[in-house]
Homo-oligomer: A and B are copies of this chain.
Amino acid sequence: MASGQPASGEDSLIARYFRPIATDPGAFRLDDDAAALKAEGCDIVVTTDAIVEGVHFLPDDPPDSIARKALRVNLSDLAAKGAVPAGFVLTLALRHADENWLQPFATALGEDAMQFGCPLLGGDTVSTPGPLMVSVTAFGRVPDGKMVHRSGAKSGDRVMVTGTIGDAALGLAVLKGGKVHAAAGADARAMLADRYRVPQPRVALAEIIRAHATAAMDVSDGLAGDLTKLCGASGVSAVIDLASIPLSETARDLVVRGVVGLETLIAGGDDYEILCTVPEDRVRTFGEAAQRAGVAVSSIGSIVAGISAPKFIDGQGREVALERLSYGHF
């Protein structure tokens, strides 16, 4: 803009909101057409996830939480693949350029980029007559050939999951009103809504996953469905002990009171926890390393031979048939 010409709307929007957070040298201050990413002798792991207003977030969700969710759902994928964040690009489809929305969005995005060591490298901002959409493509680094796949699970491995499952699905239920909203107290409602809006990507676990897991993926569409995918990719089955699935106190309370069934929690989406399989003789080392990294992990079952669907066993040893495994777009 040194030429004395007025900046176009898109350029001035980028300069105002996004240039201040694009501090990585490879971003070239966002005034070039592309970014440059150094591989540093590693493979570049690439993942892309988009979130759409009305589908992945609600029209009333605060812009800072939308920014965090858009980045974090991708950081969650990188962590599950054993990759250390290297940067991301952003595509933003907006109806109009609204400062009251863009400023908190960009500020939160910059904070998360800093916190997780994943700098903004570039992007594209387009106008749309439709719903807001935020698409992020994120990059991570792994040593040559060391990306962790869905497909490495072996019979005898333990099935492990981070954090707690189902809070985000309950958070969405809270935000939509209805029986969960009515049954939960104010603090519980706030906690659950926050879990839906702002996932906690397990970035601290990336190298530990790479060191110990035979297979891993993040839980984004529901634990039951995602485990089914992991088993499918690995050519194995699993037996899951429903009572071992880690629940928050709030979620457990809602299940005990009969407000929701456990199925709602394990088929609900948006957990962004990591599901992985760890050989029996590494479970202790894995757990200790995760604890040092500040991430809770739970053993929820075992990988078994076969290609049948994973079995879910209740506290009385009975198999529970699930009607629904996961969230589906189409």
Q: What residues of chain A have their CB less than 8 Å away from a CB belonging to chain B?
A: 1-5, 8-11, 13, 28, 31-39, 41-52, 54-56, 77-78, 80-81, 83, 87, 89-91, 93-94, 96-97, 121-131, 133, 135, 137, 139-140, 142, 145, 147, 149-151, 217-218, 221, 225, 228-229, 231-233, 235, 237, 307-310, 325-326, 328-330
When chains A and B are docked, how far (Å) is the Cα of A231 from the Cα of B43?
Answer: 36
Chain B min CB distance to A161 (Å):
15
When chains A and B are docked, how far (Å) is the Cα of A145 from the Cα of B36?
Answer: 8
- 8 Å CB contact of A329 from B54, B80, B125, B237: B125
CB pair B91–A308 under 8 Å, yes or no, is no
Chain B min CB distance to A69 (Å):
13
Contacts of A133 on B, CB cut-off 8 Å? Answer: 93, 126, 128, 130, 133
User: Assuming A10-B328, A125-B330, A130-B133, what are 17 further A-B pairs, CB within 8 angstroms?
Assistant: A2-B232, A2-B307, A3-B307, A8-B330, A32-B147, A32-B150, A32-B233, A33-B150, A34-B147, A35-B45, A35-B47, A37-B46, A46-B139, A50-B135, A89-B137, A127-B330, A133-B133
Chain B min CB distance to A119 (Å):
12
Given contacts A9-B329, A310-B3, is CB(A135)–CB(B91) below 8 Å?
yes
Residue of B nearest to A132 (CB): B130
Given contacts A39-B44, A89-B137, is CB(A329)–CB(B126) below 8 Å?
yes
Chain B min CB distance to A48 (Å):
5
Mind listing 14 A-B residue pairs with CB under 8 Å?
A: A4-B307, A5-B228, A8-B326, A10-B328, A11-B229, A32-B151, A33-B47, A36-B43, A36-B44, A46-B87, A48-B122, A56-B126, A91-B91, A137-B137
Contacts of A50 on B, CB cut-off 8 Å? Answer: 91, 93, 124, 126, 135
Residue of B nearest to A55 (CB): B127
When chains A and B are docked, how far (Å) is the Cα of A265 from the Cα of B82?
Answer: 49
- 8 Å CB contact of A126 from B44, B55, B81: B55
When chains A and B are docked, how far (Å) is the Cα of A192 from the Cα of B247?
Answer: 60
Chain B min CB distance to A99 (Å):
12
Contacts of A80 on B, CB cut-off 8 Å? Answer: 33
Contacts of A32 on B, CB cut-off 8 Å? Answer: 81, 147, 149-151, 217, 233
- 8 Å CB contact of A231 from B3, B8, B44, B56: B3
